[in-house]
Structure 1
Amino acid sequence: MLDYTLFLSLVVLVSVEHASLAPAPLQIVNEELTHTEAIRDVETPLNLTRTNFERLENLSNRSRYVARSCKEIMDRYDEREDGLYFLTTANGMVYQTFCDMTTAGGGWTLVASVHENTHYGGCTVGDRWSSQQGNNADLPDGDGNWSNRNTFGTAEGATSDDFKTPGYYDIVAEDMSVWHVPNNFPLEHWNLAAILRYHTSNRFLRLYGGNLFELFKRYPVRYNIGSCSERGPAVPIVYDHGDRESTKMFYGPKSRAESEPGFITFRPINNERAAMAICSGVKPNTGCHTEHVPNNFPVEHWNLAAILRYHTSNRFLRLYGGNLFELFKQYPVRYNIGSCSNRGPAVPIVYDHGDKESTKMFYGPKSRTEFEPGFITFRAINYQRAAMAICSGVKPTTGFNTETFASHSLNEG
């Protein structure tokens, strides 16, 4: 398995009403039928034009809704589809955000996302939730955005940049949901791409003013605010995808020994006396190691942790000596072996988890226009005439942009 670092966006939603009912099976069936019909329409150009127009008209009609939360939209207008909606604050400000209308009864409103794209750029421009002014002990509150009314970002770009809506301080909520989504996934794939999804169910926000804005006024995220024993509340969670064991694997070895999974902890404080806003998924119990490290999954959690899983089914290895050893003797992975047209075989795949659209999101913008998803390509060659052993998930069609990462296994079949 090739090792890589996965940067995540923490997508935070709230619910104004305790939701104890699971979505009805009929709703799930209807969603699947709608998706199938949409695919069928895409394959027919005439239907594509008509369906897109009707779809845009339906989405446009959402701007007429008057509600302060997604729960109110669901109750007043009988909406059951996940997606973007318009909400209105108590002062009349209209804004757009994402509504999760299916998890745990639906009605969850996206109020914030916390995006990180590097281990080395802390407290620099773009780090709106901490500080854009560097690590400065003279500015212990950083930018203070956990407990002020600043807003930033867009709902559709919430996994590519920090995001905060007026709903963060305007909605009086009861519970909170968190999705761990890899960076840069488009909104329509968040649910599928999320490595973990969970929510609270005990209406804890009633005790802290009804939203995170009020909670963090009581528990300020401030440098040198206290010791690790002075953290905020630790609230138990219900898993929608994932479990306690997979949650533990997102933390470093020492942190795992000092924390208990199955909670959202507010305002934990680490060894350097720095207060973190949210320690998501765990409750520190003996120490102050709170760093989030999504890496080094043990073998027993590979299946759950995998963002994509697929296999070939055409017995192609029979043609190449029966294994990768023999295949790469026929197609050496060697610098300057040839041009991109000298690649090895491109073999179609069957998806076990994920799909062609989610596969495309693992490649850069230019690469996406130069390949076709749904294949494993052997001995792909890039612009620098470097041969890559496996271009996993795609088949290059016109260009040379082949950089990616992957994990591989074989079946004797």
Structure 2
Amino acid sequence: MLDYTLFLSLVVLVSVEHASLAPAPLQIVNEELTHGEAIRDVETPLNLTRTNFEHLENLSNRSRYVARSCKEIMDRYGEREDMLDYTLFLSLVVLVSVEHASLASAPLQIVNEELTHLEAIRDVETPLNLTRTNFERLDNLSNRSRYVARSCKEIMDRYGEREDGLYFLTTANGMVYQTFCDMTTAGGGWTLVASVHENTHYGGCTVGDRWSSQQGNNANLPDGDGNWSNRNTFGTAEGATSDDFKTPGYYDIVAEDMSVWHVPNNFPLEHWNLAAILRYHTSNRFLRLYGGNLFELFKRYPVRYNVGSCSNRGPAVPIVYDHGDKESTKMLYGPNPRAEFEPGFITFRPINNERAAMAICSGVKPTGCNTETYCIGGGGYFREHNEQCGDFPAFDWDRLGMDQGWSASKEMREAAVLLFYR
């Protein structure tokens, strides 16, 4: 199995303890073991093995501590020993903010703004129970690591969770990973499996363009990095609006529908829902027809240069809007593209006039062939121009973020595209 956890890091800590209790003998042992000479002549303490196991048990208990800092561990659990192996629930801090944002959004917003700007912090009234509530919340969040499920829908159905936030999922092969669950939209149970983030609009198919190619615009690499149809994973859920993200759930979860959020770059997780410029989902269970996920869909419709012509695009699926509508979707793209697509759909594997393939047209169905100006992702080669190669191919064709000609709006250019399954 893949998921056995060993306390290998604790061996070093045992040595640290013995180094402080008996530095001279341990130094001799370490030197002999390092050089491999005369090991048999070194007197080993009779209780060394027993002491190691006892100490490992003590150290392993530290994984049960629930705290966000060493100060909290000291105050709450009375620890006074310097060590490397205290585990902090730093990843859960965002979820604490989620709770407070929903329960008392205004006061917490004030606190966050003050802390951000480092102004007049002393004048902000901090709730008296903030620290206590954090501990209670962290205790609850730490319990999520015990859930056994392959999707957010299974967590919702099996454990009754109804709160948006970070959860741990397990693949069919036993790989555990963390991702964001949308437990509220259209009945909830949506699993974040990927995000497409454009890291730079200057230069095509450069480092960071994981959803097209990081190896330049190259006809000899028609598939580019191939991440639409492989098992490569990257990024973190919390950083999904700051960099590309892909989980094992992308290929492991068997789903029926998709949800898509366009969230401004670098927005923190607790604000994704409200900050999104566009949110929608499908409702006709279309993924059943294509293997249950995008991994299988793109096996059938490869995102590859010269795989077909403009008329060979993949499926176009009707969508249900959660935030936005057809008119607002239309206005997110440039004036010229608006004449060659129909809003109200999500479309897969479009192909442009020059036979370059893209992955997804978000919110629209192409009726023309200049799909590089309003569809994302791609293979490794765009014949018309090097600058078209990239995760957001030619969204800035007529100047960056100017909403003129073929160029998309600044809002669309500077938003990550989050992909969910259910």
- The answer to whether 1:212 aligns with 2:281 is no
Q: What do the CA deviations read for 1:16-57 (whole angstroms, capped 9, x no partner)?
A: xxxxxxxxxxxxxx9987235974997435411111111111
Correspondent of 1:274 among 326, 349, 356: 356
Q: Which residue pairs with 2:254 in the alignment?
A: 172
Give yes or no for the alignment of 1:150 onto 2:232: yes
Select the structure of larger CA radius of gyration: 2
The question of 1:253 aligning with 2:335 is answered yes
2:386 corresponds to which residue?
A: none
Question: What is the CA deviation profile of residues 322-378 of structure 1, one whole-angstrom value per residue up to 9, with x for unaligned ones?
Answer: xxxxxxxxxxxxxxxxxxxxxxxxxxxxxxxxxxxxxxxxxxxxxxxxxxxxxxxxx
**Aligned residue for 1:262?**
344
Work out the percentage of aligned pairs sharing the same amino acid. Answer: 86
Q: What does 1:5-404 correspond to in 2, within 5 Å?
A: 34-35=103-104, 39=108, 43-44=125-126, 46-292=128-374, 293=395, 295=401
Classify the secondary structure of the residue corresponding to 1:126: coil
Change (3 A) 1:284 1:36: closer
Higher-helix-fraction structure: 2
Aligned residue type for 2:217: N
- How far did 1:264 drift? 0.4
User: Secondary structure at the residue paired with 2:223?
Assistant: coil
TM-score by length of structure 1 reads 0.62
Per-residue CA deviation, residues 56-82 of structure 1 (Å, 9 max, x unaligned), is 111111101000000000011110100
Question: Counterpart of 1:121 in structure 2: which amino acid?
Answer: G
Output the amino acid matched with 1:269: I
Counterpart contact for 2:310–2:350, Cα < 8 Å: yes
Aligned equivalents of 2:350, 2:181: Cα separation in 1: 28
1:140-182 Cα offsets, whole Å, 9 max, x none, are: 0001100000000000000000000000000000000000011
Pick closer, same or farther for the CA change 1:102–1:45 going to 2, 3 Å.
closer
SS at match of 1:50: helix
- SS of 2:274's partner is helix
The structural deviation recorded for 1:296 is 5.6
Q: List structure 1 segments (4+ residues) > 6 angstroms apart after TM superposition.
A: 30-33
Q: What SS does the corresponding residue of 1:197 show, helix, strand or coil?
A: strand
If the length of structure 2 is used for normalisation, what is the TM-score? 0.61
8 Å CA contact retained: 1:249, 1:296: no
Report deviation, 1:297.
6.6
Residues 89/289 of structure 1: CA separation in 2 closer, same or farther (3 Å cut): closer
CA distance in 2, matches of 1:38, 1:146: 42
In 2, distance between residues paired with 1:221 and 1:241?
Answer: 29
Report SS of the residue matched to 2:204.
coil
CA distance in 2, matches of 1:166, 1:136: 28
Aligned-pair CA distance for 1:184: 0.5
CA–CA distance in structure 2, aligned partners of residues 141 and 35 of structure 1? 48
For residues 103-127 of structure 1, give each alpha carbon's deviation from its aligned partner in whole angstroms, at most 9, with x where no partner exists: 0000000000000032223211111
Question: Is the contact made by 1:152 and 1:164 (CA closer than 8 Å) also made in structure 2?
Answer: yes
Give the superposition deviation at 1:275: 0.5
Count of matched residue pairs: 272
Is the strand fraction higher in 1 or 2?
1
Q: Tell me: CA distance 1:39–1:120, structure 2 relative to 1, closer, same or farther (3 Å).
A: closer
Rounded to whole Å, the distance in 2 between the matches of 1:254 and 1:39 is 43
The alignment partner of 1:60 has SS state of helix
Q: Structure 1 CA distance, aligned partners of 2:107 and 2:184?
A: 19
- Contact 2:194–2:250 at 8 Å: present in 1 too? yes
| Distance in 2 (alpha carbons) for counterparts of 1:91 and 1:228 | 39
Task: Identify if the C-alpha distance between structure 1 residues 297 and 138 changes in structure 2 by more than 3 Å, giving closer, same or farther.
Answer: closer
Gap runs ≥5 in structure 1: 1-29, 299-304, 308-413
**What SS class does the counterpart of residue 147 from structure 1 fall into?**
coil
Q: Is the alpha carbon distance of 1:40 and 1:196 closer, same or farther for their aligned partners in structure 2, counting shifts above 3 Å?
A: closer
- Higher normalized contact order (CA 8 Å, seq sep 6+, divided by chain length): 2
Is contact 1:82-1:101 (8 Å) kept?
A: yes
1:285 deviates by: 1.2
Q: Deviations over 1:303-331 (max 9, x none)?
A: xx999xxxxxxxxxxxxxxxxxxxxxxxx
- 1:203-256 per-residue CA deviation (whole Å, 9 max, x = no partner) reads 000000000000000000001111111000000100000011111112222211
CA distance in 2, matches of 1:190, 1:66: 26
